[in-house]
Structure 1
């Protein structure tokens, strides 16, 4: 790949790139310069080499054995935010909160919910990220992506196949940028909404801990944290991993946890919830890579 402009590094630990601060190395870590560079790399990468994409690492467990193949992390070349009227264009690496702030600065309503999602736009697009009554699918107009073969494509909202915390687009599509549409609003009202979300998060979530955000999806008609609480799991620990005392749908790395500790704790919570309520909780946190020794 003589025309590659991004950086390639072998054996880089991914623990520092995740909010849990756990996980093994990437066989190869690739930071593309921009969407063209990403498309060039994928077009020339042999099809048998696996590709994994990570964002800010906020909703992610990287297993202790690391990730084989190429891990792609989008950075500076995917961090632009542009505002025109009530339309916002944002790169996939832009933190969700930055888009919420841009909307507030331009008195665009409909984006305050992004203040409550501790991730980046790429993750919000992939998972239909939502919080505080809002969802990504409510504001998406179009999404730009690169296929595993290096083709640049554009998807409309209807092409994303959105449902609760899920999109049905192929897993190997890499989102690079998206266009969102809000509506005219009152800047002071929007700022107050965001301040209320910030206050609520600080009061009810362990945001200053090593955590990965909401662990399990809310089952229909109830909240995951209520089921976890009813199963007696609040404060439960395995190794240095703990179910948060503040919010029972958050797992915490107390300092020396392994990825196996955290994932094992989550599975134990799922087992106890199933035993006590009959409900099978679905993971919201993504778990990728291989166990240590695998």
Structure 2
């Protein structure tokens, strides 16, 4: 019996009545944009918020739980993920609508680009930046995603979430504890939807701003590659790509992983990269930037799961400079 089957056998009939889809031994490389990584013991895709709440109430507290979005900035290690991975379904959590002249409500599985499109249709300004973020709203809420000088926190009114016991919480913007590419909202909370606010704006102006965002992405980012987007956060007072470039890491390759020659803060899978290749490349870059400029780059890509024995990767390759 493999790990996924053993987990479900252990739960017995606890999950009876759950309407969502449960997949044992789920191949995470199928749902991450890097197309690399190990398996999850089990993947659960809830039908809707009530189904998610029922699942959370039924799941024993000692079983690990990991929440993922559409996998656009996610690196899964080769040893896989213990316990359950939750991925919100587009059908149950992927709707977005304008609820007033200035407000939009969106499910956590809604693509950021869809929210930008809804804003355009409704003549609501301030959401053009979402057109350039290849993720979903849940991830944008958790990491305060931003682009083109605008951040998610500037638009958030309130966020709806469930805790590990299936209880509903509503968090205000202040309670989300936003900072650069960070939210201090409790890690156990699973965001299900959010209310956003913009401002009335001419549709032609919104469309022009969205076109400018798209043009910028197409001309400076490797958007057609298997990538996780920006690899590292920008350090204070400089840009990550500048420090990577100065450290001689533009185009650097390890195995099938490469720092993009086009935009060297983008890490790409050139075809056969493993999770180990990608993380080892990232830590090599961090080590070289640390040696060159004294700057400790911080990961923007979320790395989850267990290392495969013999394929562990130390931060900065173990260098404590």
- Taking structure 1 as the reference length, the TM-score comes to 0.99
Measured after TM superposition, the shift of residue 44 of structure 1 is 1.1
Measured after TM superposition, the shift of residue 291 of structure 1 is 1.4
Say yes or no: does 1:216 pair with 2:217: no
Q: Distance in 1 between matches of 2:119 and 2:177?
A: 25
Where 1:145 maps in the other structure, the secondary structure is strand
Q: Distance in 1 between matches of 2:40 and 2:219?
A: 36
> 5+ unaligned residues in a row in structure 2: which ranges?
1-14, 311-321
Measured after TM superposition, the shift of residue 293 of structure 1 is 3.3
Aligned residue-pair number: 294
Q: Which residue of structure 2 aligns with residue 253 of structure 1?
A: 269
Q: Which residue of structure 2 aligns with residue 238 of structure 1?
A: 254
2:87 to 73, 86, 98: 73
Q: Deviations over 1:65-97 (max 9, x none)?
A: 110100000012001111122110000000001
The ranges of structure 1 where at least 4 consecutive aligned residues each deviate by more than 4 angstroms after the TM superposition are none
Q: Which residue of structure 1 aligns with residue 146 of structure 2?
A: 130
1:2-21 to 2 correspondences below 5 Å: 2-21=16-35
Say yes or no: does 1:262 pair with 2:262: no
Question: With CA pairs under 8 Å and 6+ residues apart, which has the higher RCO, 1 or 2?
Answer: 1
Where 1:122 maps in the other structure, the secondary structure is helix
1:96 to 73, 88, 112: 112
Q: Distance in 2 between matches of 1:80 and 1:239?
A: 40
Say yes or no: does 1:113 pair with 2:166: no
Q: Distance in 1 between matches of 2:47 and 2:82?
A: 22
Measured after TM superposition, the shift of residue 43 of structure 1 is 0.8
2:71 to 48, 57, 65: 57
Where 1:115 maps in the other structure, the secondary structure is helix
Q: Which residue of structure 2 aligns with residue 40 of structure 1?
A: 54
Q: Which residue of structure 2 aligns with residue 82 of structure 1?
A: 97
Q: Who wins on radius of gyration, i.e. which is larger?
A: 2
Q: Deviations over 1:10-40 (max 9, x none)?
A: 1010101000000111101100001111111
Measured after TM superposition, the shift of residue 3 of structure 1 is 2.2
Measured after TM superposition, the shift of residue 180 of structure 1 is 0.2
Q: Distance in 1 between matches of 2:282 and 2:103?
A: 39
- Taking structure 2 as the reference length, the TM-score comes to 0.91
Q: Deviations over 1:40-82 (max 9, x none)?
A: 1011100000000110100100111110100000012001111
Measured after TM superposition, the shift of residue 292 of structure 1 is 1.8
Q: Distance in 2 between matches of 1:293 and 1:176?
A: 35
Question: What do you get for the CA RMSD once the two structures are aligned?
Answer: 0.8
Say yes or no: does 1:171 pair with 2:171: no
Q: Distance in 1 between matches of 2:309 and 2:288?
A: 28
